[in-house]
Structure formats: C-alpha cells, structure tokens
Amino acid sequence: MLRIFYLFLIVTCLSAGMPSAHADSPAPPVLEADRHKAVIFAYHRIGDDAYPNGSVRVEQFKNQMRELKDGGYHVLSLPDVIKAFETGQDIPDQSVVITFDGGHTSIVDIAAPILMSYQFPFTVFVAPGTTNKGAHNHVSWHDLRQLKDTGLVTLGIHPAYYGRLTHLPETDIKRYLNSAVSLYREQMGDMPDFFAYPFGEYDVTYRNIVSRMGFKAAFGQHSGAAYDRADRMTLPRFNITERYGGIDRFIMAANALPLPVTDLVPESSRLDSTLPAIGFTLTPDLAAYTQNLACFVSGQRKPRLDIPSKGRVEIRLSEPIDQPRTRINCTLPGPSVADDDDTPRWRWLGVMLTLADQNIAAQEE
C-alpha cells in the first residue's frame, strides 16, 4: 500500500500541488466526524469523447467500480447516508456514494449495466425541463421510471434546465426550481428529496431558496468528504472526469476524510472580486495542526497561508482570479486506513469560486 502514497504525491503535484507534513508532528487525531462521513462521487458522461472535460472513459469507470467492489468499500445509497446524517447513526468506514449529474443517456446505456452487475445503488440528477423536451442524448421519463423500478436508483433534480442561476434575481431562481419540482412530480408521482447545483455553483440566496423548498440535501461539486455536521444544503462531492479519473486519484478520493472548519469565507461560490478574502477556522481538535495544512488553487501558484490566531487560516492568492471557476483544495494528513498503517488518508476541504458575470465578461474581453 506504500505504492498508493507515492502515487498520491505524484497525482497531487500534477493536479494541484504538493501537500506537506512535518515528520516530527504528532500523529493526526481521529475525529467524531470520521464516524459520520461518506465520500460522494459526481459523474456526468461516460465514454463521451466529444466532452472529455465532463466525461470519463468507459475503461476508467469500469476500473473504478471494480476497485469499489474488491477494495473493501461500502457503496451506499444517497438516502441511507442522508438518513444516517439526520439520526446520528455511525456510517461504516470507506463508505462511498455514486451520483450522476445532467441526465445524459450514457448513464442508462453504459453506467447502469455496470453498476447493476455489482448491485451498486446510485443517484441520477436530471433537469426536468430538458427531460420533458426529449432532448437528444438525454434520458427520458420512461428511462427514469425504469431506473427507479430497479430499486437501486434514487432520482434527484437540477433546476428546470442545467445552467447557471447565481446571476439571476431571486424570483427567477424560484421560477426555475418550482418548474423543475412541478415537472418531476407530474411525471414521477412524488416529490424529489435531493437537489444538485449545476456546475456546483450557488450563492447564499440560491442556497436558502433550495432549503426553503424542503429538499433533504443539496450538493455542489467542491471536493471533500460529506459528514453529518456539514451544511446539508451544500454538501461536497468529488467530481470525476477523464483528466482526474486515474485509479490512484480515485483511491485517494475514496479514502478522504472530513476537514471540519468554521467561519468559512466567502460564504458562497459567487465572487464580486478577483482578489477575495478567503479563510476558515479549524475546529479545536485540529487547531494545533495548522503547520501541516497545505492549500492549492487551480491555475495558480501555491498560495501563502497566514495564521493570525490559533486555528485561523487565511489564504493569500498569488494573483487575481481570472477563470470563470476556480477550485481551492486544502488538505491535512489524517489517520491511516483502519488496520493498515501504510495507507495514508487526507482530510479535504474544497471550495468552488465563480466570478460574477460582469467579471467573467471583463476577463474574456
């Protein structure tokens, strides 16, 4: 299992930067959150060469599912995990959840047969307006009914159409969500319990609308392990694509642990500044480990970390944000896999930042 450690370092260097830990630091603690967590994967398309940034190759997907089957993992349904969060029930270590965004036909044609051969439960999020129009390369209501009838599939929704809503007035956001719920209920006969933000983008207004509509949980596309004390309306998922679909990165993500923090800024993914204030406070049981923390920003050099007080971390960007979407990942060494001291695990905190429309336009000009 030492091979995984060295491959993890290589993969992390290639994708975001190098985590660091001091050899003379005390052993990382086990947290209460570790007993109430699961890693949730977000897929989009399978085997669609026309969209490599939103797809994984078929062979990659098969290898990942084989790893889940043979690697001692627990593949749980999304409803079971959220119910455990609500009741405080322990969740087995190395538990994962499989989800799909966008409702593309490759879910039915390619992914579903593989998952059902393993009897793995999974969740499909659809944009009901797109489904209702019978859009090309998207699942139909008939497909969704057949999936649901297997007993392995949970359905959730996006807004009526898969698109950005953070730039819209509150009344428009409500309209797109109400339309999605109405169409889904009309076709499926029940209310959807779960919601996924397109592209993982949300702001405080959007999040609060989703919460008031009664969803049990809502999901972004920022990396990290979901756990019971996290905001139920902005739970993290590891986004799986062809570029980041190698088996070693997949194993690393599947073994991720929560990195609980408080006072996270900014509160939402939508930015009005290209040099935002970014920071958080580690919980008291992790406050002594700030020297082992490493943070990385997609498309930028490694940022400087300032520690103004015990446990408080402020991230100083090396340059202004100039991408429509920027990911920040912070990692901290965690305890190894149970009964295996050679397999390292990392606590993950993921943050998705998106520029407001006017800033995107200015950068594109």
Angle CA 197–198–201, to nearest 5: 65
Q: Does position 3 have pLDDT exceeding 70, yes or no?
A: no
pLDDT band at 329 (very low <50, low <70, confident <90, very high): very high
pLDDT tens profile 111-141: 999 999 999 999 999 999 999 999 999 999 9
Cα 95 from Cα 81, distance rounded (Å) = 9
CA neighbours closer than 13 Å in the CB half-sphere of residue 267 = 7
The pair phi, psi for residue 231, each rounded to 5°, is: -60, 120
Res 13: pLDDT: 39
Q: What is the mean pLDDT of residues 176-204?
A: 97
Closest C-alpha to 257, from 89, 74, 101, 29? 29
Structure tokens at 235: 């739970």
Res 67: pLDDT: 98
Q: Rounded to 10 degrees, what is the CA torsion of 138, 58, 80, 164?
A: -40
Q: What is the mean pLDDT of residues 5-19?
A: 39
CATH topology of domain 262-364: Immunoglobulin-like (2.60.40)
Structure tokens at 92: 């087995």
CA 280 to chain centre: 19
| Architecture of the CATH domain 32-258 | Alpha-Beta Barrel (3.20)
Res 336: pLDDT: 78
* 32-258 and 262-364 share one fold: no
pLDDT tens profile 26-81: 678 999 999 999 999 999 999 998 898 899 999 999 999 999 999 999 999 999 99
CA neighbours closer than 13 Å in the CB half-sphere of residue 363 = 15
Instruction: Name the residue ranges covered by the structural domains of the chain.
Output: 32-258, 262-364
pLDDT band at 333 (very low <50, low <70, confident <90, very high): very high
